[in-house]
């Protein structure tokens, strides 16, 4: 049973069904694993031992009574600390929310609980999801299990690292410009950003409301599909939620794993390859495309000329929305309250100023300033307004591309994991990590990252991105599962089998 932690969620669900294990046992082995390795990885900000075990016991009781809540009932999960959890701290990786305990559950969390998944704890992230390395967490960086000196991607580095280091079989991430997919790529795991509106944002502490989307972080494509079906679907509490049933995701993943892609048209996006992409990344990507061709897919090159403006548009829209979203952190109602020094009887405004100065990190302040500027009268049209027009053009590029291709593909991130500290002083270099993932957020289309192998030059994981039209998330799973199956056949097992063994603290 020592290998329980390395098994996929689908396998664990089968093991539970077969009576080989219990949810309490599964939860306990993962809590033990967290105790052993998270000192080195730092994937978690908060661990809920008691709560998780209680939920596990309830799951076992349901199973004994023959009343399963979902196919994943009893399989434990980790949740990114940007989702509100009733009774559990929710910090968003920021000092300004230190000690805040929400009085309510995010809809995603409520659905996890209703489906019977014990919540192990809350995972580390860049402060308010602003970053691509998890170095901007106010509680210290998360380390990449493949090389502890390297970043695990971001902002959801905690969720990806937790899954990659077998501390959790499943995790929830959120993706505003790539925060699920890019960490998936650099940690050798699977991450899916669903169609915008496909998963409720209620209780997701917003960075950029028009871009944010929660989604699965797992080790296999099938696990992502299973989790996606648990958390997805319409929610009346989120006005931007799509009132349509989800496509059959698990079926698509199973069908894809059979390996036949006959008739599937794969579009390689010209603007998302070549210059700026590390050679090992490009190499693994090209080979993966050939594997898909071998499985019967046809490949076309598509051009999305406006993608070159995506990063610039993103860095106007996202900070604009964020600057407004973060205004509520003012020390009046919850979270940190700092009394300014040297002021006899400070006004509310003095307290707000001192709290925001102390409570927000530099990257957050940078984006608040950028967004405030972009929305200012006299600049609005030139910045926010213009960026929205670019956004429309990018959506049209997708529409055109999906006319000739069923899915689009690209490397997920231009490089493998870089060293902690390497890009901290160069925000633009950091931002470029998301160059291939951002267009999907701007257009609201779904995207998946699946491991494509290791780059020759550094032996680190490379991610392969699949993009599909809105509400055609099933295509991600079909193509992603096919590629995963073909590659694992070549490798003789999952990519994570090749990750170095972490030293276990005793």
Partner 1 sequence: MSDALVPYDEALAAFDPAMGLEVHIELNTVTKMFCGCPTEFGAEPNTQTCPTCLGLPGSMPVVNGKAVESAIRIGLALNCDIASWCRFARKNYFYPDMPKNFQTSQYDEPIAFDGYTDVLVDTADGSEVFRVEIERAHMEEDTGKSLHVGGSTGRIQGADYSLVDYNRAGIPLIEIVTRPIMGAREKAPAVAKAYVAHLRELILGLGVSDVRMEQGSLRCDVNLSLAPIGTGELGTRTETKNVNSLRSVERAARYEISRQAAILGSGGSILQETRHWQEVSGVTLSGREKSDADDYRYFPEPDLVPVAPSEEWVRSLKDTLPEPPRVRRDRLQKEWGFSDLEMRDTIGADALGLVEETIAAGASPQAARKWWLSELARRANEQDVDIASLPITPAQVARIQALIDEGGINDKLARQVFDGVLAGEGTPDEVVAARGLAIVSDEGALSAAVDAAIAANPDVAGKIREGKVAAAGALIGAVMKDMRGQADAGRVRELILEKLA
Distance, CA of 410 to CA of 448 (rounded, Å) = 10
Among candidate residues 155, 241, 323, 410, the one labeled active-site is: 155
- Rank residues 334 and 491 by Cβ distance to partner 1 and give the closer one: 334
With contacts defined by CB under 8 A, name the span among 116-124, 371-379, 404-412, 431-439 that binds partner 1.
371-379
Which ranges in 273-361 belong to alpha helices (H)? 279-294, 310-325, 348-359
Phi, psi values for residue 151, rounded to 5°: -80, 150
| Stretch in the footprint of partner 1 (CB under 8 A) among 178-186, 329-337, 405-413, 466-474 | 329-337
Q: Chain centroid to CA 449: how far?
A: 10
Residue 425 exposed, middle or buried by CB count within 10 Å (0-12, 13-18, 19+):
exposed
175 forms part of the interface with partner 1 (CB under 8 A): no
Residue 348 binding partner 1, by CB under 8 A: yes
343 binds partner 1 (CB under 8 A): no
- Sign of torsion, CA 322 323 325 329? positive
Report the alpha-carbon distance of residue 356 to residue 352 in Å, rounded: 6
- Quick one: DSSP state of residue 416? S
Angle at 82 between CA 100 and CA 230, to 5 degrees: 120
- Alpha-carbon 292 to chain mean position: 25
Q: Is residue 103 within the footprint of partner 1 (CB under 8 A)? A: yes
- For partner 1 (CB under 8 A), the number of binding residues is 44
Q: In what order do the strands lie in the sheet with 119-123?
A: 44-47, 119-123, 77-80, 170-174, 214-218, 190-193, 447-454, 461-467, 407-411, 265-269, 298-302
Query: Which segments of 115-248 does DSSP mark as H helices, in order?
Result: 157-164, 181-187, 221-231
Identify the residue among 112, 375, 467, 499 touching partner 1 (CB under 8 A). 375
Please, how many CA atoms are within 13 Å of residue 368, restricted to the half-sphere of its CB?
16
At 298, phi and psi to the nearest 5? Answer: -105, 145
Catalytic residue among 59, 132, 179, 241: 179
Scanning 18-26, 141-149, 284-292, 347-355 for contacts with partner 1 by CB under 8 A, the matching segment is 347-355
Which listed residue (2, 50, 66, 239) binds partner 1 by CB under 8 A? 239
Interface with partner 1 includes 316 (CB under 8 A)?
A: no
Q: How far is the CB of 192 from partner 1 (least distance, A)?
A: 21
Q: Considering the rule CB under 8 A, would residue 100 count as an interface residue with partner 1?
A: yes
Instruction: Tell me the CA distances in angstroms from 423 to 131, 145, 276, 420, 477, one per residue in order.
Output: 11, 19, 15, 8, 33
User: Do 300 and 404 contact (CB within 8 A), yes or no?
Assistant: yes
Residues 183-202 interacting with partner 1 (rule: CB under 8 A): 201-202
CB 311 within 8 A of CB 414: no
159 classed as catalytic? no
Binds partner 1 (CB under 8 A): choice among 15, 72, 83, 468 = 83
Six-digit token pair at 316? 């106007």
Nearer to partner 1, 380 or 403 (CB): 380
473 counts as binding partner 1 under rule CB under 8 A: no
| Number of Cβ atoms within 10 Å of the Cβ of 98 | 13
80 is catalytic: yes
Cα angle, residue 130 at apex, residues 195 and 468 outer, rounded to 5°:
20
Q: Specify the stretch interacting with partner 1 by CB under 8 A; choose among 48-56, 187-195, 276-284, 323-331.
A: 323-331
From the CB of 347, what's the least distance to partner 1, in Å?
9
Q: Is 205 in the site for partner 1 (CB under 8 A)?
A: yes
Report, in Å, the least distance between residue 209 CB and partner 1.
4
Token pair for 395:
């959506």
Using CB under 8 A as the binding rule, whether residue 237 contacts partner 1 is answered as: yes
Q: Considering the rule CB under 8 A, would residue 384 count as an interface residue with partner 1?
A: yes
Task: For residue 389, state whether it binds partner 1 (rule: CB under 8 A).
Answer: no
Task: Establish whether 200 is a catalytic residue.
Answer: no
Binding segment for partner 1 among 137-145, 295-303, 348-356, 404-412 (CB under 8 A)?
348-356
Among residues 342, 349, 428, 490, which is the contact residue for partner 1, using CB under 8 A? Answer: 349
Other CB atoms within a 10 A radius of the CB of residue 419 amount to 12
Q: Which of 116, 92, 89 is nearest to 102 (CA)?
A: 89
Note whether 106 binds partner 1 by CB under 8 A.
yes
Task: Answer yes or no whether residue 154 interacts with partner 1 by CB under 8 A.
Answer: no
Binding of residue 327 to partner 1 (CB under 8 A):
yes
Tell me if residue 262 falls in helix, strand or coil.
coil
CB of 476 to partner 1, least distance (A): 24
Q: Interface with partner 1 includes 395 (CB under 8 A)?
A: no
Q: Does 403 bind partner 1 (CB under 8 A)?
A: no
Among 320, 355, 410, 415, contact with partner 1 (rule: CB under 8 A): 320
Going by their DSSP bridges, the two strands 407-411 and 265-269 should be labelled as parallel
- Counting every residue written for the chain, the total comes to 506
Q: Of 16-24, 203-211, 264-272, 289-297, which part binds partner 1 (CB under 8 A)?
A: 203-211
* Residue indicated by tokens 């077998």: 166
The residue among 202 and 464 lying less far from partner 1, judged by its C-beta, is 202
Segment contacting partner 1 by CB under 8 A, of 8-16, 33-41, 368-376, 454-462: 368-376
Rounded to 5 degrees, φ, ψ at 501 are: -75, 130
Check binding of 504 to partner 1 (CB under 8 A): no
User: Pairing state of beta strands 190-193 and 214-218?
Assistant: antiparallel
Q: Which of 2, 18, 263, 333 binds partner 1 (CB under 8 A)?
A: 333
Q: Which residues bind partner 1 (CB under 8 A)?
A: 83-84, 90, 92, 97, 100, 102-104, 106, 201-206, 208-210, 236-240, 320-321, 323-324, 327-330, 332-334, 348-349, 352, 372, 375-377, 380, 384
Hey, which residues are catalytic here? Answer: 80, 155, 179
């Amino acid at each position: 049973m020592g290998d329980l932690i390395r098994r996929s969620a689908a396998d664990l669900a089968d093991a539970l069904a077969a009576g080989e294990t219990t949810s309490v046992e599964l939860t306990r082995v993962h809590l033990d694993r967290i105790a052993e390795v998270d000192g080195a990885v730092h994937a978690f900000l908060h661990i809920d031992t008691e709560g998780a075990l209680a939920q596990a016991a309830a799951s076992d009781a349901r199973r004994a009574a023959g009343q399963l809540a979902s196919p994943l009932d009893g399989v434990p999960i980790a949740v990114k600390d940007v989702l509100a959890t009733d009774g559990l701290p929710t910090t968003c990786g920021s000092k300004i929310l230190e000690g805040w305990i929400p009085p309510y559950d995010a809809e995603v969390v409520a659905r996890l609980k209703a489906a019977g998944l014990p919540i192990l704890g809350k995972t580390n992230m860049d402060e308010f999801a602003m970053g691509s390395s998890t170095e901007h967490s106010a509680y210290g960086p998360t380390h990449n299990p493949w090389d502890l000196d390297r970043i695990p991607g971001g902002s959801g580095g905690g969720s990806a690292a937790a899954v990659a280091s077998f501390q959790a079989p499943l995790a929830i991430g959120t993706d505003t410009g790539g925060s699920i997919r890019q960490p998936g790529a650099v940690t050798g795991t699977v991450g899916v950003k669903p169609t915008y509106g496909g998963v409720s944002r209620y209780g997701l502490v917003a960075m950029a409301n028009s871009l944010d989307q929660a989604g699965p972080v797992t080790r296999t494509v099938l696990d992502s599909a299973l989790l996606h079906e648990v958390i997805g679907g319409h929610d009346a509490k989120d006005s931007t939620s799509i009132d349509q049933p989800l496509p059959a995701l698990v079926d698509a993943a199973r069908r894809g794993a059979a390996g036949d892609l006959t008739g599937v048209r794969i579009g390689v996006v010209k603007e998302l390859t070549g210059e700026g992409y590390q050679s090992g990344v490009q190499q693994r990507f090209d080979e993966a495309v050939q594997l898909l061709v071998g499985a019967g897919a046809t490949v076309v090159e598509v051009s999305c000329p406006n993608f070159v403006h995506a990063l610039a548009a993103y860095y106007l829209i996202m900070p604009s929305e964020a600057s407004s979203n973060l205004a509520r952190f003012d020390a009046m109602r919850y979270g940190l309250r700092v009394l300014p020094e040297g002021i006899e009887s400070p006004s509310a405004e003095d307290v707000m100023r001192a709290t925001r100065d102390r409570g927000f990190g530099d990257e957050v302040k940078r984006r608040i300033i950028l967004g405030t500027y972009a929305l200012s009268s006299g600049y609005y049209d030139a910045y926010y307004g213009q960026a929205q027009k670019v956004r429309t053009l990018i959506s049209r590029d997708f529409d055109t591309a999906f006319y000739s291709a069923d899915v689009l593909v690209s490397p997920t991130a231009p490089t493998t994991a870089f060293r902690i500290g390497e890009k901290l002083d160069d925000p633009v270099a950091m931002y470029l990590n998301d160059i291939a993932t951002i267009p999907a957020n701007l257009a609201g289309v779904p995207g998946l990252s699946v491991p494509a192998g290791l780059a020759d030059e550094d032996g680190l994981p490379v991610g392969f991105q699949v993009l599909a039209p809105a509400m055609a998330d099933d295509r991600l799973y079909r193509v992603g599962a096919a590629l995963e199956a073909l590659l694992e056949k070549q490798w003789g097992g999952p990519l994570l089998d090749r990750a170095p063994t972490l030293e276990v603290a005793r």
